[in-house]
Amino acid sequence: MEKTSTDLERLGQKIEDLRLKEAIARHEVSRPARSRASRLGLRICVDLLSAVIVGAAIGYVLDELFGSKPWLMSLFLMFGGAAGVLNVYRLSKQEEND
């Protein structure tokens, strides 16, 4: 009887060890790593696109206000592109430090 309970305890311990190893292995292949990369890529796209759109919108409004079509829109479109690239650069430096 003593041998059976000891065998069951060892079997239970082996099962727990295998479950832990499996959990660790699944975490290394990890969905969170892929999820993080997806979020980072989406954030880069949004940063670039939103900066260009905001720059173009400001330029369009100023062009309408001053009647200087298309010069201010072109200028602010470039400013928006530069701001987007700067945002992505800052994000990459932040990710590099993390």
What type of residue sits at position 74?
A: S
pLDDT digits (tens, 9 = 90+) for 4-44: 788 888 998 999 888 888 877 776 545 666 788 888 999 99
**Which contiguous run of DSSP H or E holds residue 1?**
none
For residues 59 and 85, give the distance between their C-alpha atoms in angstroms, rounded to a whole number.
Answer: 18
User: Per-residue DSSP letters for 37-53?
Assistant: HHHHHHHHHHHHHHHHH
Domain of 25 in residue numbering reads as 2-97
pLDDT of residue 52: 96
- Please state the domain count of the chain: 1
